[in-house]
């Protein structure tokens, strides 16, 4: 599968965190021009304020599909530009909800672009709901299930809008971002398959372990 980057985004300005526990949030992300470095902790110039729940090596980059953003734009009757959901990478032609946990994306040219690995789905929070200012947003976002994906950086590199995104490796367990998000609440078989994956995001492993019924 090969898609492209519609935009590369980083924090535009810190804004009051009206829904969370901190004074400010870096959820206001907007597209960047030209080449942008992606290092082990994400897009150059970006910030994570709530480091207890976001960021770090396993959540260095957040990707959201423009196809899913377009669905929300129609549902909400408002524009959903790249970065509005706090994403760093706005993709086109990449099935982010269908991405397999642990699959690898080559972004841009192999010699200069980063290699990323899909780590976990996003869990919506009160900060996200306050930022969107949409009633019952956490519930609606959760029920729709197109959460986007957190990615870790296997190899740093430079990217820009328009670069290709190619899925170059996909684990055999087959558990997708969408299944991982839904399965934490409903499907013990999905949970077991996830726990068998050697390189599972530690935060996701903890959540899955807690969700697995004792008899499973």
Do 92 and 75 meet the contact criterion of CB atoms below 8 Å apart? no
Q: What are the structural domains, with CATH classification, of the chain?
A: 2-208 (2.40.33.20)
Query: Which pLDDT value is given to residue 186?
Result: 65
pLDDT range class, residue 215, cuts 50, 70, 90 = low
- pLDDT tens track for 174-184: 999 999 898 76
Cα–Cα distance between 149 and 12 in angstroms, integer?
21
Query: Which pLDDT value is given to residue 165?
Result: 98
Mean pLDDT across the chain: 92
3-state SS of 65-124? EHHHHHHHHHHHCCCCCCCCCCCCEEEECCCCCCCECCCEEEECCCCCCCEEEEEEECCC
Say what the alpha-carbon torsion angle 172, 120, 37, 50 is, to the nearest 10 degrees: -170
pTM greater than 0.85 (yes/no) = yes
């Amino acid at each position: 599968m090969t898609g492209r980057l519609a935009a590369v985004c980083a924090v535009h300005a810190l804004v009051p965190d009206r829904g969370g526990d901190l004074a400010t949030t870096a959820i206001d992300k907007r597209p960047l021009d030209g080449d942008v470095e992606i290092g082990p902790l994400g897009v150059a110039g970006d910030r994570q304020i709530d480091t207890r729940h976001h960021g770090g090596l396993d959540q260095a980059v957040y990707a959201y599909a423009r196809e899913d953003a377009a669905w929300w734009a129609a549902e909400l009757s408002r524009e959903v530009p790249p970065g509005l959901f706090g994403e760093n990478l706005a993709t086109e032609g990449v099935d982010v909800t269908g991405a397999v946990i642990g699959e690898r994306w080559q972004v841009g040219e192999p010699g200069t672009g980063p290699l990323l690995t899909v780590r976990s789905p996003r869990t919506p929070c009160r900060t996200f709901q306050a930022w969107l200012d949409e009633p019952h947003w956490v519930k609606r976002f959760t029920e729709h299930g197109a959460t986007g994906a957190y990615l870790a950086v296997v190899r740093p590199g430079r990217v820009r809008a328009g670069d290709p995104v190619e899925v170059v490796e996909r684990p055999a367990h087959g558990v997708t971002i969408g299944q991982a998000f839904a399965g934490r609440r409903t499907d013990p078989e999905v949970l077991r398959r996830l726990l068998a994956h050697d390189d599972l995001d530690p935060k996701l492993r903890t959540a899955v372990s807690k969700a697995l019924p004792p008899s499973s």
